[in-house]
Amino acid sequence: MQKKVILIYPYYIGISGAYNRYLLLKKLIEKAGFNVKLILFNDRKFNSNFTKLIYKLIRFIKVEFLIFFYSACKNSYLITDFNPSIVALFSKNVLIQIHDVSWENKNFMRHNFFSYRIFKIFIKYYSKIITVSKTSSEAIKKVSGRKKEVFLLYNSVSEKYIKESNKIGNENLFISNTNNLKMINRSLPNILYIATLIPRKGHLDLLEALSKTECLLNINLVGLPTDKKILKLIQTKKTSNGNIIKSNINYFSKLSQRELCNLLIYSSAYISTSLNEGFGIPALEAKLYKTPLIIRDLDINRELFPEARFFESTSQLANLLSTVKPISKFEIEYKRKIASNINEDNISDLFNYSNLSNELKNNILN
């Protein structure tokens, strides 16, 4: 009898690449022929730091018990982002998932110095680790000094993306009167960027580049408003130095997958200014629509999107933005045709579900 696979996601449930990856993992594991159980934990907020600390301690004990129970007592395979886990140091049934090492950068680090050092020790000695790219695998080994193998499984687009793409591509009448499409300006180049408003996503660099270009653009920014300073600059169309931005900026805190697919069809380019990225699903979504990518020159971007146009400085970004042209009717129809034909197994080899499912099965059984 084949072992069961348990997925434990103990963090924030909602719009995030980490959470969506668990939904994809569940699909891939089922496709590989395993029975799978997904365990989720609701996020809670506390006014008191002491209460928050007690809650985290209780959650740690609870999740660690679940890892022990399923991997040792039930002899099931288990995949989780939970970190650090004592059980995962010894059990070959447990795969700890590490998306990237952006936490290693002190400007973005989410851990104090003491917990950061513990974190690195655990990563060095975990029995099995799974990550999302060759770049991340190499970075994990470099940061932690790990000698053991790091298993690799690329991420991919969600089922929602595929279903909504098919619906949009196959509509007889292309409905374009939704609220977000009213923001499309067909006379200008439309550019899309999807990223939560946090400093490491580099929105300030984008604003600075926009202030340096003379051409007018229609920028559609999508992202949760977690940083109020960045949000205010976007809304006032100013840089951190007070420079004025002439281009249009439409800001959406949240859009449905269908609305995002619609915006991609009308976009002349997709842009990413992220300073450190584990895996850019929005960029992959744009790539599958043949939308040109303008992205920062990072190792992970070079690995995943070698055909993109890369930049290092805001001046280089401004120059690239100035070359973008308005999208034509022919290009829009071409993208619709692509969208109508996308399915989980005709995506390129690195990202299609069948290949990923086989890779995941090998990683679990190894």
Domain residue ranges in the chain? 5-156+348-365, 159-341
Averaged pLDDT for residues 259-285: 90
**Contact of 11 with 39, CB cutoff 8 Å:** no
Which residues neighbour 177 within 8 Å (Cβ) at sequence distance 6 or greater? none
Closest CA to 115 of 64, 60, 40: 60
The topology (CATH level 3) of 159-341 is: Rossmann fold (3.40.50)
pTM: 0.88
Q: What is the pLDDT of residue 177?
A: 47
Rounded to 10°, the helix 314-321/203-212 angle is 60
Tokens of 212: 């340096």
The first and second tokens of residue 167, run together, are 């619906």
Look up residue 189 and give its amino acid. P
pLDDT mean across residues, the chain: 88
CA 227 to each of CA 30, 100, 181, 242: distance values in angstroms, whole numbers, following the listed order: 38, 22, 26, 18
**CATH annotation of 5-156+348-365:** 3.40.50.2000
CA distance 95 to 186: 48
Biggest distance spanned by C-alpha atoms of the chain:
66
Collapsing DSSP to helix, strand or coil, 129 comes out as strand
Query: Tens of pLDDT along 54-98?
Result: 888 888 899 999 999 999 999 999 999 888 899 999 999 999 999
Q: What is the mean pLDDT of residues 97-114?
A: 67
Measured distance CA(131)–CA(150) in Å, rounded: 7
Instruction: Give the alpha-carbon dihedral of 262, 237, 194, 304, to 10 degrees.
Output: 110
- pLDDT confidence bin for 304, thresholds 50/70/90: very high
- Report the percent of the chain where pLDDT is more than 90: 66
CA separation for the pair 95, 13 (Å, rounded): 20
**What does the pLDDT read at residue 254?**
86
